[in-house]
Each structure stands twice: as structure tokens, then as C-alpha cells.
């Protein structure tokens, strides 16, 4: 079997190996046997997996071959779109279904714009509490039912159409409510942009009877969207007309929402099982691509038949319409090996996506010859005919569709490929590199240096031509945050080939994404990452550009836009005098000090420190939350322990060094009113250490220092990058992404 990196082995051990499995090959054997229908398929599937050519989505690798008593736990799909209706049975079924999806490792999206607005009358008497209140329940369920039974919070996307009476409340929900468990997106169409262009009013239409209940300027909605996206990263936009342009079911089941990461725009009660082909394997021989696509399509179709589902409507639609989501990964590797700059890759990306979709559709038509084709009405079949023409299938293939039908309604999408990319030792999806070289701190405290594989030969070349040691080059690149663009001695042609995510403008990234989206039947997951200095106008320009380029959706993330979402931090190695004086120092009757008040997701933290006449810190008081709560009691006790130790002469730095970077539940705060960017802390204890150091010692913390990585909520390492995939970030250590 092909050699695997330590990173890939860790991913398998952490996510995919069962207790009875001790090797990657055993995982692949289990999955291939479970998905194959015959010996030939088993051998091919195992080869695709062993040689890192193809990966299905994580739930398939985790659950294939297992048999649970509860059918939903046999889930092999990653993404679900629920079709919610404006009645309590549908709403409560949504909550139940969402919990089942989370427990099996999946994520869920739904359009809550079907729910009547707050204050609208209900049939049993009284008034509706509105869609926002129902959405809050998802927050509690997500926190209680961790995704796949692991420590990460479950993934959700909630969408609402722009003319809902509660649209302004929805747009600002992330800044006014603690709705951290869901991404939100506003559904907009061509009519909205026409009203925006002409500065016209929008009629607000109640889902309760479809009556007009008010009006608002399109510009007011638009400004609110851009302002809130600047503040919180939400809402994103979903473009109704682009999503439904290639939806054969648009008349009966239009697409109004997506999965949490946005690559799966699907009608309600549809799921999608995802798979990705590693482009590293076609660099030398692109003719292999068609063979890989063929077997991947067969694999994903088998998954549909063998998966469990959290709701009978999902099962019915999946077996009737058979959507599959075949995509790619390793695109940055592919370009680098061919010596092609990422920001000049739009045509190449479009060509690969075109080949992917055309080949998948042609095989789907071929499968329809011997299997039952999907059932389409005459109008749906006509739309499907037009869709195949839109994707530029040869006429003879379209004629075959006319004769035999087709086996899959949708065939392609490009997902973030977090953990599966690491498992296959390749770059993420179609994304550029987040860094060329980076350091990663391991669990045992050691650091390892990682270099993207295609750069290794250039590293030797640079060292030979310049006479600079490879160690020096590596250290220089790490000092430049993994980018080589500002290192003078590196040749321009190499800089062009190896541009990182933050070296590429958001508009250029949109153009590349749009070139591929033209030939992808569902969507492409990607987020525009912006510097903290980006303006509301910048976000407006990005959203308008995405619309003009016919993307199906768009999201942005501005560094520092949320106290809970930012990548800035500072750290220094500290040493302290650990000598202890056992005789307690006296505390004067009148003591001077200061109180620091910091707002956290857990409540407002108050830390008071008092000094003696020698300006020595001699006591600390800590308060958070209700006085009789367990957290408050523990922190009050910590303050007493610190105070007693300080009075006995233990330097505060001893405790700061002990508490600093203790992991638990990371979040982002500001500990100085003049601080431009938020500081990421790993826990309440870590926050207390940083407050003590910043406000009560002479040791400094650089509050504005930028780093590539956030703290991963799953493995608690500082290895989460937001420059890749969906807006929730992707961990280069454990493969975590908020998109299941």
C-alpha cells in the first residue's frame, strides 16, 4: 500500500479507525467491502482508497460496514437540507431530525423563511413567536448533541428570503443573539437586485396567507446585510436564480437553502453523499481522470442504496432522484506540480470541472440503461435536456438521455475536504495553499515543520542558486507567516507559482470560483477572507461581484469581526523566579488596586487586583456569572489561592505561566479598550492568565500580533485556518471543519 504521512495516520487513528482496526488498510478494507456490490467493485474501491486517489465523505469512512440498531446511525451522508413547513409538527420534526443528523456526524441546512413572522396570528389563538425563536432551539440542540458524538458543535445553516417580514431581525441575529451554532444566509433573487439598482421598495410578504404586511427599501435591507457581514461574518448570500438555473425540479421543489458549508444547494428533504478525487494522480497522465470519475460515480451511487437516513422523506427522495456530490481535491498541488500560478488558473479549473461533470453525467446516462432511471415529468425532462446542453454534453450523449433517461439528478460539487484531504496527503479542495511552510506544535510540546510537497524541489533549487542554507530559507518563510512573496532572494517565477490564500485578492478568488461553478451542478464551498481593515464597501463590492459572476452563494470573513472569531494572538516564553517565601506579607488596611471588566461568551468577568505600598500584587478577586454558580465558586476559590500565594511571596508569574494556554473552550475577547483586534484565548483560565500578565505585571502581550491559526475546537491545538473552505475554518492537525 502507498506510504502515508504522520498527519494522515493521525487522522485515521482519531476519526476513522474502529477499536478493532489498527491500520489504514483495515479501514479501507471495511469501507470497500461495505460499499461494493461485487468482487470487481471491491478491488477497485480498495485500490482507489489505498492509493489516495479517492475519498468519500467522513461519515462514510466512519460508519460504512457498521450496523446500528437505530437506522439513522447507519448514515453515510454528510449533508442534509430539511424542508420546513409553517406548522408545529414540521418544526418539531425538524428539531428531532437535526438531532439525529448531528449524532450520526452530519450537518443540516433549512430555510426558516417559511415560518410566519413574530406576532402573526396562529390558528389555535394567540400569536407566533417568529422564526428567530425557533432557530434558537437549534442552538441548544447543537450544544447538547455534539456532531458524531464528538466534542465539536454540530453544523447548521439557516436561510431566509429577503422579503420576509422578520428579515431585518434575521440579518442581525448573530450580533444580537448568541446563535453561534448556525451560519445564516439571506436568499436573494434578480428582483431584489433590480429593486436595489432602482432604489425601489420591497413588499414584505407574510408566509401566513402570503399577504403583503409592509414594505421596505431594498437599499435598507442591503445596507443591513453588508454592515452585519462586516461585523460578524454573517449573513452570507444565496442567489436563488443561479441555484435554480440547473434545478430540474424548480417548479415543484425549488432550491432555497444549502448545507452548512454551501456546496450543496438542494431542494428540501434531499441529502448528498460527497466524494473527492485527488488531482495529484492526474498530473502526469490526465487520461486517468475519466476512469477515476467512473468508479467514483459507481461508489457514490452504491452509498445512496446502503446509507441510513434520519427521516423517511430523505430516504424517499434520495432513492428517487439519487443526487451525488463528486468533487476534487489537491488542486493547489496539481497547479504547483505543473508550474501554474494559482491566480492564473481560472481556465484550468473550468476545464477540470467541465470534464468532471460531463463524464459523471455520461456515466449516469449509461447506468440508466441497466438500472431504473430517475422519474421525471415531461417538463422536468425538458429542463434536464436543457441542463445537459448547458453543461455542453455532446449531442450523441444527450440523444442517449432522451432514449434511456438518467440515473442522477445532480452529480458534482466541491466540498471543503478538511479531514479527507489530510487523509490523502493532498491540498484542500480547489483552495490555494494557506502556507508554504509552517510550524505545528504537537501534543507533547515538540514542534514539527511542514512543507507542502511540491515546494521541496524548489527549496533545493533556491538553496543551490543563492548559497543560503535550507534551514535559513525555512525559517525566513515561517517568519513571513508561511508566504514567500516578501522574501527578496526567492525568484519571481517561484513566487508566482506558490501564492498563498492571503496573497490572492478576494475578487481574483471569486473569478476562479466562478469559472469552475459554470460547470458544477451543485455548489463550491469557499469563503472570502478579508483583513481587519476591510470596509463595509469592500464587502458590498465582493457580494455584488459574486452576483455578477453567477455564483450560487457567497460568504465573507473579516479578521477580528467577532469577539468569538479572530486569529490574533501573542505569546512569549516566560521565566519566573520560583523561589517561595513562606512568611505571609501583611496587607495594609487601605490597599490601592484596579478592576478589569471583560465581556466573554460566558458572561462578564471582573478581575480585581490590589497592591501594597511596595507596589507588589498581594491579592486577587475573580467573579464571573451568578455568585452561587459553580463557575463563580471555583473562580472565587482560585482568587483566594492566588491571594494567599502572593502574600507568601510566590511570584504571580509562576501562576501566569501555569495557567497560560490551558485549553478547554476557546473564545475571543478584548482585554484593553484601545485594542484594535480581539485576542484569542483557549479558556477562562487562559483569559485570567492573560489579564494578569497584561494589566498586573511588567510583562507584555502583543494584542495585535497576527498568526495564521486559530485554536481548533476539536483538538485544542492552534491549527485552525480560516483561509480554506467554509467560514468555520479547517484544522490542519485533526481535519476538523464546521462542515461535517
Distances (CA, A) of 21 to 28, 56, 116, 270, 283: 10, 19, 50, 33, 33
- Distance in angstroms (rounded) separating the CA atoms of residues 555 and 507: 13
Cell numbers found for residue 477: 518563510
Answer whether 198's CB lies under 8 Å from 170's CB.
Answer: no
- Distance in angstroms (rounded) separating the CA atoms of residues 246 and 238: 15
Q: Which DSSP state fits 16? A: I
Helix, strand, coil shares of the chain as percentages rounded to 5? 40, 15, 40
- Distance in angstroms (rounded) separating the CA atoms of residues 75 and 59: 7
Cell numbers found for residue 393: 454534453
- Three-state SS annotation for 392-461: CCCHHHHHHHHHHCCCCCCCECECCCHHHHHHCCCCCCCCCECCCEEEEECCCCCEEEEECHHHHHHHHH
Answer whether 149's CB lies under 8 Å from 125's CB.
Answer: no
Alpha helices (H) in 247-377, listed in sequence order = 288-306, 312-321, 331-338, 346-370
Does residue 698 have an active-site annotation?
A: no
Out of 261, 353, 561, 712, which one is annotated catalytic? 261
**E strand segments, 50-155:** 54-56, 79-82, 107-111
Q: Any idea which residue has 470519475 for its cell?
A: 293
- Distance in angstroms (rounded) separating the CA atoms of residues 666 and 517: 35
The strand pairing partners of 322, in sequence order, are none
Answer whether 237's CB lies under 8 Å from 186's CB.
Answer: yes
151 φ/ψ angles, rounded to the nearest 5 degrees: -85, -10
197's CB contacts (< 8 A; 6+ apart) are: none
Gyration radius of the chain over CA positions: 27
Q: What is the dihedral of CA 186, 713, 9, 272, to 10 degrees?
A: -20
Q: Identify the burial level of 542 via C-beta atoms within 10 angstroms of its C-beta, where 0-12 means exposed, 13-18 middle and 19 or more buried.
A: buried
Q: Any idea which residue has 456569572 for its cell?
A: 625
Out of 259, 317, 610, 733, which one is annotated catalytic? 259
- Distance in angstroms (rounded) separating the CA atoms of residues 500 and 342: 9
Count of Cβ atoms closer than 10 Å to residue 740 Cβ: 27
Q: Any idea which residue has 463563580 for its cell?
A: 632
Count of Cβ atoms closer than 10 Å to residue 264 Cβ: 31
**E strand segments, 659-710:** 667-669, 679-681
**E strand segments, 17-145:** 54-56, 79-82, 107-111
Task: Tell me which residue of 562, 239, 279 sits closest to 430, measured CA to CA.
Answer: 279
Does residue 263 have an active-site annotation?
A: yes
Q: Strand pairing of 183-188 and 156-161?
A: parallel
Cell numbers found for residue 718: 492552534
548 φ/ψ angles, rounded to the nearest 5 degrees: -65, -25
Answer whether 231's CB lies under 8 Å from 545's CB.
Answer: no
* Residues in the chain, overall count: 740
Cell numbers found for residue 536: 463595509
409: left (phi over 0), alpha (psi -120 to 50) or beta: alpha
Q: Strand pairing of 592-600 and 556-558?
A: unpaired
Buried b (16+ CB within 10 A) or exposed e, 129-148: ebbbebbbebbebbeebbbb
Does residue 286 have an active-site annotation?
A: no
Cis peptide before 235 (omega within 30 of 0): yes
Out of 117, 228, 263, 380, which one is annotated catalytic? 263
Count of Cβ atoms closer than 10 Å to residue 181 Cβ: 21
**What residues are annotated to the active site?**
259, 261, 263
Amino acid at each position: 500500500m502507498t506510504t502515508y504521512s504522520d498527519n494522515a495516520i493521525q487522522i485515521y487513528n482519531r476519526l476513522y479507525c474502529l477499536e478493532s482496526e489498527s491500520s489504514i488498510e483495515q479501514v479501507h478494507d471495511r469501507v470497500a467491502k461495505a460499499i461494493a456490490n461485487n468482487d470487481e467493485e471491491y478491488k477497485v474501491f480498495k485500490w482507489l482508497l489505498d492509493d489516495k486517489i479517492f475519498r468519500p465523505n467522513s461519515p462514510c469512512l466512519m460508519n460504512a460496514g457498521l450496523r446500528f440498531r437505530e437506522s439513522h446511525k447507519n448514515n453515510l451522508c454528510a449533508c442534509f437540507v430539511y424542508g420546513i413547513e409553517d406548522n408545529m409538527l414540521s418544526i418539531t420534526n425538524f428539531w428531532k431530525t437535526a438531532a439525529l443528523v448531528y449524532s450520526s456526524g452530519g450537518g443540516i441546512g433549512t430555510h426558516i423563511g417559511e415560518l410566519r413572522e413574530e406576532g402573526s396570528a396562529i390558528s389555535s389563538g394567540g400569536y407566533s413567536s417568529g422564526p428567530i425563536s425557533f432557530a434558537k432551539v437549534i442552538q441548544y440542540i447543537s450544544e447538547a448533541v455534539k456532531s458524531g458524538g464528538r466534542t465539536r458543535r454540530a453544523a447548521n445553516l439557516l436561510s431566509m428570503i429577503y422579503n420576509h417580514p422578520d428579515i431585518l431581525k434575521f440579518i442581525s441575529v448573530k450580533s444580537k443573539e448568541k446563535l453561534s451554532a448556525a451560519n445564516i444566509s439571506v436568499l436573494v433573487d434578480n428582483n431584489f437586485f433590480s429593486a436595489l439598482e432602482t432604489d425601489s421598495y420591497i413588499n414584505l410578504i407574510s408566509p401566513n396567507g402570503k399577504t403583503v404586511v409592509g414594505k421596505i427599501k431594498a437599499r435598507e435591507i442591503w445596507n443591513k446585510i453588508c454592515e452585519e457581514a462586516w461585523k460578524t461574518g454573517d449573513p452570507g448570500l444565496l442567489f436563488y436564480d443561479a441555484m435554480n438555473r440547473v434545478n430540474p425540479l424548480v417548479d415543484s421543489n425549488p432550491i432555497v437553502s444549502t448545507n452548512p458549508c454551501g456546496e450543496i444547494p438542494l431542494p428540501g428533504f434531499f441529502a448528498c453523499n460527497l466524494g473527492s478525487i485527488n488531482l495529484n494522480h492526474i498530473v502526469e497522465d490526465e487520461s486517468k481522470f475519466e476512469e477515476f470519475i467512473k468508479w467514483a460515480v459507481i461508489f457514490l451511487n452504491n452509498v445512496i442504496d446502503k446509507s441510513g437516513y434520519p427521516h423517511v422523506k430523505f430516504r424517499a427522495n434520495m432513492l428517487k432522484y439519487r443526487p451525488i456530490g463528486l468533487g476534487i481535491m489537491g488542486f493547489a498541488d496539481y497547479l504547483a506540480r505543473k508550474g501554474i500560478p494559482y491566480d492564473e488558473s481560472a481556465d484550468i479549473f473550468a476545464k477540470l470541472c467541465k470534464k468532471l461533470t460531463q463524464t459523471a453525467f455520461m456515466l449516469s446516462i449509461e447506468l440508466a440503461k441497466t438500472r431504473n432511471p430517475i422519474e421525471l415529468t415531461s417538463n422536468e425532462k425538458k429542463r434536464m435536456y436543457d441542463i445537459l446542453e448547458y453543461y455542453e454534453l455532446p449531442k450523441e450523449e444527450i440523444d442517449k438521455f432522451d432514449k434511456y433517461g438518467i440515473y442522477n439528478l445532480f452529480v458534482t460539487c466541491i466540498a471543503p475536504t478538511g479531514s479527507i484531504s489530510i487523509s490523502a496527503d493532498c491540498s484542500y479542495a480547489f483552495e490555494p495553499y494557506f502556507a508554504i511552510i509552517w510550524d505545528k506544535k504537537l501534543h507533547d510540546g515538540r514542534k514539527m515543520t511542514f512543507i507542502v510537497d511540491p515546494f521541496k524541489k524548489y527549496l533545493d533549487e533556491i538553496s543551490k542558486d543563492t548559497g543560503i542554507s535550507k534551514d535559513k530559507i525555512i525559517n525566513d518563510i515561517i517568519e513571513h507567516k508561511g508566504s514567500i512573496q516578501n522574501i527578496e532572494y526567492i525568484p519571481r517565477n517561484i513566487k508566482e507559482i506558490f501564492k498563498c490564500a492571503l496573497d490572492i485578492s478576494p475578487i481574483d478568488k471569486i473569478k476562479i470560483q466562478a469559472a469552475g461553478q459554470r460547470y458544477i451542478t451543485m455548489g463550491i464551498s469557499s469563503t472570502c477572507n478579508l483583513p481587519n481593515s476591510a470596509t463595509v464597501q469592500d464587502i458590498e463590492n465582493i457580494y455584488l461581484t459574486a452576483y455578477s459572476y453567477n455564483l450560487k452563494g457567497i460568504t465573507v470573513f473579516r479578521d477580528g469581526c467577532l469577539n468569538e472569531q479572530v486569529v490574533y494572538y501573542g505569546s512569549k516564553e516566560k521565566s519566573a523566579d520560583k523561589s517561595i517565601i513562606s512568611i505571609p506579607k501583611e496587607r495594609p488596611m487601605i490597599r490601592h488596586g484596579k478592576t478589569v471588566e471583560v465581556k466573554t461568551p460566558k458572561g462578564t468577568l471582573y478581575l480585581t487586583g490590589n497592591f501594597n505600598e511596595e507596589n507588589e500584587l498581594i491579592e486577587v478577586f475573580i467573579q464571573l456569572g451568578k455568585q452561587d454558580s459553580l463557575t463563580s465558586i471555583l473562580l472565587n476559590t482560585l482568587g483566594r489561592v492566588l491571594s494567599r500565594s502572593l502574600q507568601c511571596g510566590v511570584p504571580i508569574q509562576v501562576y501566569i505561566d501555569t495557567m497560560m494556554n490551558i485549553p478547554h473552550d476557546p473564545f475571543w475577547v478584548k482585554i484593553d479598550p484601545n485594542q484594535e483586534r480581539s485576542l484569542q484565548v483557549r479558556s477562562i483560565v487562559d483569559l485570567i492568565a492573560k489579564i494578569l500578565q497584561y494589566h498586573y505585571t511588567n510583562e507584555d502581550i502583543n494584542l495585535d500580533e497576527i498568526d495564521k491559526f486559530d485554536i481548533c475546537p476539536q483538538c485544542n491545538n492552534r491549527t485552525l485556518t480560516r483561509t480554506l473552505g467554509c467560514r468555520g475554518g479547517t484544522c490542519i492537525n485533526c481535519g476538523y471543519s464546521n462542515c461535517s
